[in-house]
Structure 1
Amino acid sequence: MDSNDLFANSLPSTSTASDEGVISVDVSRGALVDSMTDMSETAIPPDLIISAEASGENVEDSGKLTLAYERLYEVPRTIVERFSDHIKYIDLSHNKITNLDALVHFKHLTSLIADHNPITENCILPPLPKLELLWLNHCKISSLYPWVGKLKDSCPNLQYLCLMGNPAAPSYFNGGTFYEYLQYRLFVISQFPSLNHLDDRKVTDDQRAEAHRLYKRPFLERIINPGSGGISILNSSVKWNNVQTKLASLWGKDNGRNNRNLLI
């Protein structure tokens, strides 16, 4: 699935606003000093600077910036300082990035491609309220909970999300069962009301309704309601250790698959 072909015309127009971050260039060291964040200084590959400078006008006109295959460990500060006011679409795929904090300066970002980076569930995106498309395929995300909830807080308006190839996204290709795949899909859908497309499939009304039924009810109601496959305590006395046992099974602690971190 080609992101440029599929979503090139889906970016909404936004008005230009000034960046609130204060960033200055230390010419003697060839690095940027950022007063808003405490990101470590990183040497910028000369060929990357030349490439960015040569295409600067085109980047500002198109609102797109591609930094794929540049062996980057983070978004270079020179790039942030030069382009953050104009960029709506950024491609960071096939790098070595684990920290996306620098994206806080891209106030108009609507699309982020970060496939094939060693990003884990410990990587929390900064607030990106305008982000509509996020691709994190073939990264190192091994746990959905509580990462998906934090992602929702950072990017509440996501419409397109791809997490294929991550350990936390079970599929036939990484040894997951259909049941695990369905759990994963419905849980993610339940967290994003505006999501239209998850991985390689469109979100259907039936899936959204089922996701709401499974995951939007109060947690203890799901545990104790017989209709949800939980423990029935409506007509009998139940000890707390029985509930704890059910909780443990829900988190996969008893079935040897706790690495999936799937919920019911």
Structure 2
Amino acid sequence: MQTPNNNDSQLILVQQNLRTLSHELVRSHADHVEQLDLSHNCLKDLSWLAEFEQLRHLVLDSNRMHEAHLRTLTRPLPQLEVLMLNKNEFSDLPTTMRLIRRFFPNLQYLSFHGNPICPDGLELQPFSSYLSYDYAYYSRSAS
């Protein structure tokens, strides 16, 4: 497990079998983390996410998440710019997009590759290679 020092803006907790984030981790990192990668876990509860007021990039790939998991959020994160939800179990595009708009109103990039709602067979792109048309497609599809 990698955890940052107080000056580090990145927290990577990949493959830790996490169902939620502990109060201790939230308390020690929420005030300074801008990039959070929780890929390949078993997240069920995202209620702690609202504490991360500096968070700009969130990666939740391969967590077996679906729409109900987004409903555990307690308030919007208007500062979030990038949300990666690849290889999960999102299957209801209109519901998912309503939740995304409600909780992440200022996203610049959203990715759902490898989910039942993903409309195409594109290969996953590296995190640094954002495809701007993906977000535009999902925005149009959910309206």
TM-score by length of 1: 0.45
Higher Cα Rg: structure 1 or 2?
Answer: 1
Q: Distance in 1 between matches of 2:65 and 2:110?
A: 15
Residue number in structure 2 paired with 1:127: 76
Residue number in structure 2 paired with 1:76: 22
CA contact (8 A) 2:76 2:102 kept: yes
Question: Structure 2: which 5+ runs fail to align?
Answer: 123-128
Residue identity matched to 1:168: I
Compute the displacement of 1:62 (Å).
2.6
Q: Distance in 1 between matches of 2:35 and 2:131?
A: 22
Q: Distance in 2 between matches of 1:200 and 1:163?
A: 12
Compute the displacement of 1:101 (Å).
1.2
Residue number in structure 1 paired with 2:50: 104
Where 2:98 maps in the other structure, the secondary structure is helix
Residue number in structure 1 paired with 2:126: none
Q: Distance in 2 between matches of 1:135 and 1:144?
A: 15
Where 1:79 maps in the other structure, the secondary structure is helix
TM-score by length of 2: 0.80
Compute the displacement of 1:201 (Å).
2.9
Where 1:112 maps in the other structure, the secondary structure is strand
Is the counterpart of residue 201 in structure 1 residue 127 in structure 2? no
After superposition, give the CA deviation of every residue in 1:195-232 in whole Å (9 maximum; x if it has no partner): xxxx963229xx68xx4xx876xxxxxxxxxxxxxxxx
Matched positions, count: 131
Where 1:123 maps in the other structure, the secondary structure is helix
Extract structure 1 runs of 4+ deviating beyond 2 A: 170-173, 199-204
Q: CA RMSD in A?
A: 2.4
